[in-house]
């Protein structure tokens, strides 16, 4: 992320605060005075390793990013958050950034990456009105997830609106999946709309707070959650290491997520191509004793292209001491993407 000394941006400070801010009310502060305002991150006892990979120019260099990932692993990071991304790509381990993400995963480092703020392919970007996803034409694939968010082993995070205090819904800007090969992405949704966090006032170079929106804010919420869940899993399953530990954390977060319904079309769920497994639930993820695993170490199953047959297996593993029983619920069966001509050709599932 960028830093104030080079670019004047406080993006990095805002992201770091969502993960690990540990503010408290100042001594003697009362009411709504400035001294009584503070921010508490998702994992306030975490430590931050700041890796700057972007400067004045908003270009992302793949080699800079991959080197920073390798450095973070070498320095003993437990999790990496990348609130960055560029282009629209596919899953490819010959890609330098995605290969670095895989390297981190194999070394037991959880990688959380913001999905992007490009909405649905073909949409007109600019409005931040929630659920504003109307589009003028129908592309073959709706994905706008860039690199390195496409990485298979990363947890790719979409943005929802629960930080506003209103009924949760997807942010209109949050990038859609699936990937070019129809692998499901994003993986999960977290608060990304009007999020308050730490910042630097560039005019005075003093600490302050700022409100920002984007999947850049949702990603660090997920990274902080991953640290808490990883801490719990290490205590209860101490033999898990490397990629197995990362998989356990990812499965817990995805399995515990709450699928959100569309507030504009309340009888249907928001497409998993937008929300992934659903809205993050940190407490539930930490308490799960059973994991459900789909394809390729993921907490999801990708059905592929319409018209083709897909065979898959969902594996349940009980890590607890009490037997568990489950019933499969298809929630009404497969959903189909449609356009609502009465509402500006808004794309949704039904």
Q: DSSP per residue over 157-180, as a string?
A: EEEESGGGTSS--B-TTSPP---T
Q: How many CB atoms lie within 10 A of CB 218?
A: 31
What secondary structure letter does DSSP report for 279? B
Task: Estimate to the nearest angstrom the gap between the alpha carbon of 306 and the chain centroid.
Answer: 26
Domain assignments of the chain as residue spans, ordered by start: 11-349
Which residue has better confidence, 208 or 339? 208
- Tell me, letter by letter, the H, E, C secondary structure of 90-159: CCCCCCHHHHHHHHHHHCCCEEEEECCCCCCCCECECECCCCCCCECCCCCCCCCCCECCCCCCCEEEEE
Looking at the structure, give the CATH architecture of the domain made up of residues 11-349: 3-Layer(aba) Sandwich (3.40)
Model pLDDT for residues 163-193, shown as the tens digit of each residue? 766 678 899 889 999 888 888 999 999 999 9
Would strands 110-114 and 155-160 be described as parallel, antiparallel, or unpaired?
parallel
pLDDT at 47: 95
Model pLDDT for residues 74-125, shown as the tens digit of each residue? 999 999 999 998 877 778 888 899 999 999 999 999 999 999 998 887 665 5
The H or E element containing residue 191 is strand 188-191
């Amino acid at each position: 992320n960028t830093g104030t000394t080079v670019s004047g941006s406080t993006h990095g400070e805002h992201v770091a605060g969502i993960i690990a801010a540990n503010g408290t009310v100042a001594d003697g502060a009362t009411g709504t005075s400035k001294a009584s305002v503070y921010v508490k991150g998702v994992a306030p006892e975490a430590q931050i390793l700041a890796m700057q990979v972007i400067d004045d120019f908003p270009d992302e260099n793949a080699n800079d990013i991959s080197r920073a990932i390798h450095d973070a692993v070498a320095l003993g990071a437990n999790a990496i958050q990348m609130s960055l991304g560029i282009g629209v790509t596919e899953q490819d381990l010959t890609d330098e950034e995605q290969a670095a993400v895989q390297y981190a995963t194999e070394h037991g480092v959880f990688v959380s990456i913001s999905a992007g703020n490009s909405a649905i392919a073909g949409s007109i970007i600019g409005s931040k009105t929630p659920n504003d996803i109307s589009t003028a034409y129908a592309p073959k694939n709706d994905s706008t997830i860039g690199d390195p968010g496409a990485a298979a082993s990363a947890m790719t995070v979409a943005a929802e609106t629960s930080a506003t205090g209103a009924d949760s819904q997807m942010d209109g800007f949050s990038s859609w999946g699936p990937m070019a090969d129809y692998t499901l992405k994003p993986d999960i949704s977290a608060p990304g709309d009007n999020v308050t966090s730490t910042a630097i006032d560039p005019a005075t170079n003093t600490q302050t707070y700022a409100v920002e929106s984007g999947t850049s804010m949702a990603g660090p919420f997920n990274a902080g959650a991953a640290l808490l869940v990883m801490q719990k899993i290490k205590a209860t399953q101490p033999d898990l290491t490397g990629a197995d530990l990362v998989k356990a954390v990812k499965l817990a977060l995805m399995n515990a997520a709450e699928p959100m319904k569309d507030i504009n079309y309340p009888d249907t769920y928001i497409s998993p191509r937008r929300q992934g497994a659903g809205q993050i639930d940190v407490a539930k993820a930490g308490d799960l004793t059973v994991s459900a695993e789909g394809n390729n170490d993921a907490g999801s199953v990708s059905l592929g292209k319409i018209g083709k047959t897909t065979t898959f297996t969902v594996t349940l593993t009980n890590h607890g001491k009490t037997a568990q029983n489950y019933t499969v619920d298809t929630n009404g069966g497969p959903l189909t993407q449609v356009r609502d001509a009465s509402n500006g050709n808004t794309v949704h599932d039904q």
